[in-house]
Amino acid sequence: MRKKDFIIGPFVDYSKNPILGPGKGFTSKGAYNPTVIKEGRDFFMLFRAEGEGGGTGTIGLARGYDGIQFSLHPEPVIVPSSDFDRFGCEDPRVVRFKDTYFLTYVGNSGRYNVGNICLATSRDLLHWEKHGSILQPKEGRWNSGQIKAGVIVPDKIDGKYVMYFMGEERPWKTAIGIAYSKDLFHWYEPQDEPVVVPRKGYFDYQGVEPGPSPILLKEGILFIYNGWGEDSIYKPGGILFSIDEPTKVIKRTDRPIFLSSRNYGKEFGTGNHAVAEGLITDGNRWLLYYGAADRLTCLAIYESGAK
């Protein structure tokens, strides 16, 4: 790994970032932490939106044709409406199985010791049905504090659906676990320990959290995650899991696969986070979508065929 440090990348910031940011109405404070799915020639982005004075997050939708320029749908497509998300619908990740889209998001219930991974389904990306919290923390375990940030592998493995998620026993002391399901609605943990933990001496020695929905490659399951150190600034790294054993790490990057070229945190008076939550392959391009400084949606690009 020292000689060939990256699974893919490094990614380079798109020169005209940001590609989406604060606007009017429900995005007046921020539009960030995007997930993206491609259907034919169309790119669809779902993102966390915040308006001034609203205090709660919603999920917006945008559509584009080149993976870079997106047109915003005028209203949010998912809004707080239930006890499990009454303080915000945040940080979506989307996958499609057959003709149905499955979107996991962080439902902010205002409580700590609860399962914050919520699920919604749709046939058209506009109209969504909520299914509530799908996995709960268990007292006395490594994730007894809370769980959130679920990302679903976009195909069955050994007859089961697989989801990676963040868990913690206390705030900011996180690890990544794995859960399985037979139907995408009911999930369980197969083991009592996480599959990814922070590493002393590396960029992710304080905490780790899942990033975009994983991508299946012939070499394994490509899993991008976000890690942070003492400064609590998110930076994306990469892991290759075994397809035969989704709990087994084959490779893990020693350094971040991307560092933002601009200090958005200084501009907005926030941490200069680069929170990767969307990853698309488009020809020889890898498009990594990230939330910058909890305000903007930005893009980083890796050209796999470049010399």
* Higher-confidence position of 28 and 52: 28
Does position 253 have pLDDT exceeding 70, yes or no? yes
Of 209, 203, 206, 155, the closest CA to residue 6 belongs to 203
Average pLDDT over residues 227-250: 95
Tokens of 104: 């996991």
Domains and CATH numbers, the chain: 12-303 (2.115.10.20)
DSSP letters, 244-267, are SSTT-EEEE-SS-S---SS-HHHH
Does position 7 have pLDDT exceeding 80, yes or no? no
Phi, psi of 227 (to 5 degrees): -125, 160
Instruction: Assess contact for 225 and 215: CB atoms under 8 A.
Output: no
Does position 130 have pLDDT exceeding 70, yes or no? yes
Show Cβ contacts of residue 66 under 8 Å, excluding neighbours closer than 6 positions.
Answer: 43
Q: What is the pTM of this model?
A: 0.95
Distance separating alpha carbons of residues 34 and 30, to the nearest angstrom: 12
